[in-house]
Chain A
Amino acid sequence: MLVKAKGTQQSVAASRLLDGEAVWLGTGNIWVEDVAQAAVFDGADAIAEALAFAKAEEKRQIVVDVYPLDVEITEAGTRPTHLRERLKGIGPTVRRDLGKQARQPAA
Chain B
Amino acid sequence: MPDTHSPAIRSNQPADAHAAVYRYDEFDKTFIFERVEQFRAQVERRLKGEITEEEFKPIRLMNGLYLQLHAYMLRVAVPYGMLSSTQVRRLARIARVYDKGYGHFTTRQNIQFNWPKLEDVPTILRELAEVDMHAIQTSGNCIRNVTTDQFCGAAADELVDPRVYAEILRQWSTMHPEFTYLPRKFKIAITGSPNDRAAVQVHDIGLIAKKDEVTGRVGFTVYVGGGQGRTPYLAVKARDFVPVEEIIGYLEAILRVYNQLGRRDNIYKARIKITVNEMGADKFIGLIEEEYARLPRQKFYVDPAIVDAIQTHFAPPPWVDLPAISDSFEAAKAADPAFARWTRTNLTEHKTPGYAIATISLKPIGGIPGDAEADQLETVADLADLYSFGEVRVTHEQNLVLAHVRKDDLYPLWKALDAAGLGTANAGLISDIIACPGLDYCALANTRAIPVAQRIAERFADLDRQHDLGELKVKISGCINACGHHHVGHIGILGVDKKGEEFFQILLGGDAGTNAALGEIVGPGFDYDGIIDAVETVVNTFVKLRQPGEIFIQTLARTGHAPFKEALYARA
Q: Which residues of B contact A (CB under 8 A)?
A: 46-49, 52-53, 67-72, 100, 115, 117-119, 368, 439-441, 443-446, 448, 450-451, 454, 479, 497, 500-502
Q: Which residues of A contact B (CB under 8 A)?
A: 1-3, 15, 17-22, 58-61, 64-65, 81-84, 87-88, 91-95, 98-100
15 further A-B pairs in the complex, CB-CB below 8 A; given A17-B46, A84-B445, A92-B450: A1-B445, A1-B479, A2-B443, A15-B67, A18-B118, A19-B118, A20-B117, A22-B69, A60-B49, A61-B48, A61-B49, A83-B439, A94-B450, A98-B115, A99-B70
Q: Are A92 and B100 in contact (CB under 8 A)?
A: no
Q: Are B67 and A64 in contact (CB under 8 A)?
A: yes
Given contacts A15-B67, A93-B440, A94-B450, A20 and B118 within 8 Å (CB-CB)? yes
CB distance from A64 to the nearest CB of B (A): 5
Q: Are A19 and B71 in contact (CB under 8 A)?
A: yes
Q: Are B451 and A94 in contact (CB under 8 A)?
A: yes
Pairs A-B, 9 closest by C-beta atoms:
A92-B440, A20-B72, A20-B71, A19-B117, A94-B450, A61-B49, A64-B53, A99-B70, A88-B69
Question: Looking at chain A's contact residues, is the secondary structure mostly helix, strand, loop, or mixed?
Answer: loop
| Residue on B nearest A66 in the bound complex, by CB | B53
User: What's the Cα separation between A17 and B446 when bound, in Å?
Assistant: 24
User: What's the Cα separation between A21 and B67 when bound, in Å?
Assistant: 10
CB distance from A102 to the nearest CB of B (A): 10
User: What's the Cα separation between A82 and B502 when bound, in Å?
Assistant: 10
Q: Are B443 and A87 in contact (CB under 8 A)?
A: no
CB distance from B102 to the nearest CB of A (A): 9
Q: Are A83 and B502 in contact (CB under 8 A)?
A: yes
Given contacts A1-B446, A94-B454, A88 and B70 within 8 Å (CB-CB)? yes
* Option from B117, B444, B446, B454 in Cβ contact (under 8 Å) with A18: B117
For B67, list chain A residues within 8 Å (CB): 15, 20, 64-65
Of residues A60, A88, A92, which shows the largest number of chain B Cβ atoms within 10 Å of its Cβ?
A: A92
Q: Are A84 and B451 in contact (CB under 8 A)?
A: no
Given contacts A20-B70, A82-B500, A61 and B439 within 8 Å (CB-CB)? no
For B501, list chain A residues within 8 Å (CB): 83
User: What's the Cα separation between A3 and B445 when bound, in Å?
Assistant: 11
For B445, list chain A residues within 8 Å (CB): 1, 84
CB distance from B71 to the nearest CB of A (A): 4
Of residues A18, A21, A60, A94, which shows the largest number of chain B Cβ atoms within 10 Å of its Cβ?
A: A94
For A18, list chain B residues within 8 Å (CB): 47, 117-119
* Option from A61, A64, A82, A91 in Cβ contact (under 8 Å) with B70: A91
| Residue on B nearest A84 in the bound complex, by CB | B439
CB distance from A11 to the nearest CB of B (A): 16
| Residue on B nearest A65 in the bound complex, by CB | B67
For B439, list chain A residues within 8 Å (CB): 83-84, 87
Sample 14 A-B pairs with CB under 8 A, ordered by A number.
A1-B445, A1-B446, A18-B118, A19-B72, A20-B71, A61-B47, A83-B439, A83-B500, A87-B69, A88-B69, A92-B450, A94-B448, A94-B451, A99-B70
User: What's the Cα separation between A88 and B119 when bound, in Å?
Assistant: 22
For B448, list chain A residues within 8 Å (CB): 93-94
CB distance from B162 to the nearest CB of A (A): 34
Given contacts A60-B49, A83-B500, A92 and B71 within 8 Å (CB-CB)? no
User: What's the Cα separation between A20 and B67 when bound, in Å?
Assistant: 7
User: What's the Cα separation between A94 and B47 when bound, in Å?
Assistant: 32
Of residues B52, B439, B451, B454, which shows the largest number of chain A Cβ atoms within 10 Å of its Cβ?
A: B439
For A20, list chain B residues within 8 Å (CB): 67-68, 70-72, 117-118
User: What's the Cα separation between A87 and B451 when bound, in Å?
Assistant: 14
User: What's the Cα separation between A92 and B454 when bound, in Å?
Assistant: 14
CB distance from B292 to the nearest CB of A (A): 41
Q: Are B368 and A94 in contact (CB under 8 A)?
A: yes
User: What's the Cα separation between A17 and B448 when bound, in Å?
Assistant: 25
For A98, list chain B residues within 8 Å (CB): 100, 115
